[in-house]
Amino acid sequence: MEREREQRIAEIRKELEELRRRWPKHSVPPALHQQWEELEEELERLLDERDAPATERGAPQ
């Protein structure tokens, strides 16, 4: 699970970098903006899960 999450975080960061390179200076298409937002939300969720103390993730104390 932890390894899969780290792999997905790396994938999302790579996708965001690729989007950043394609990002037009003017008139960003709505689909591109939507894709960016979805990736950032998923990245934030995964980072929050990773950084949460083990007790918050349901690990036994």
The pLDDT tens digits for 6-32 are 999 999 999 999 999 999 889 989 999
Average pLDDT rounded to a whole number, residues 38-45: 97
Supply the pLDDT for residue 55: 59
| Residue 27: inside a domain | yes
| Residue 58: inside a domain | no
| Residue 7: inside a domain | yes
| Residue 34: inside a domain | yes
Residues of the domain holding 47: 2-51
Residue 12 contacts residue 38 (beta carbons within 8 Å): no
Supply the pLDDT for residue 48: 95
Q: Report how far residue 14's alpha carbon sits from residue 31's, in angstroms, rounded to the nearest whole number.
A: 18
- How many residues would you count in the chain? 61
Q: Which ranges of 1-61 does DSSP label H, i.e. alpha helix?
A: 2-22, 30-51
Residue 26 contacts residue 60 (beta carbons within 8 Å): no
Which pLDDT band, with edges at 50, 70 and 90, does 53 fall under? confident
| Residue 61: inside a domain | no
The maximal CA–CA distance of the chain, rounded, in angstroms, is: 52
Residue 5 contacts residue 50 (beta carbons within 8 Å): yes
Indicate the pTM of the whole model. Answer: 0.78
Per the structure, the count of domains in the chain is 1
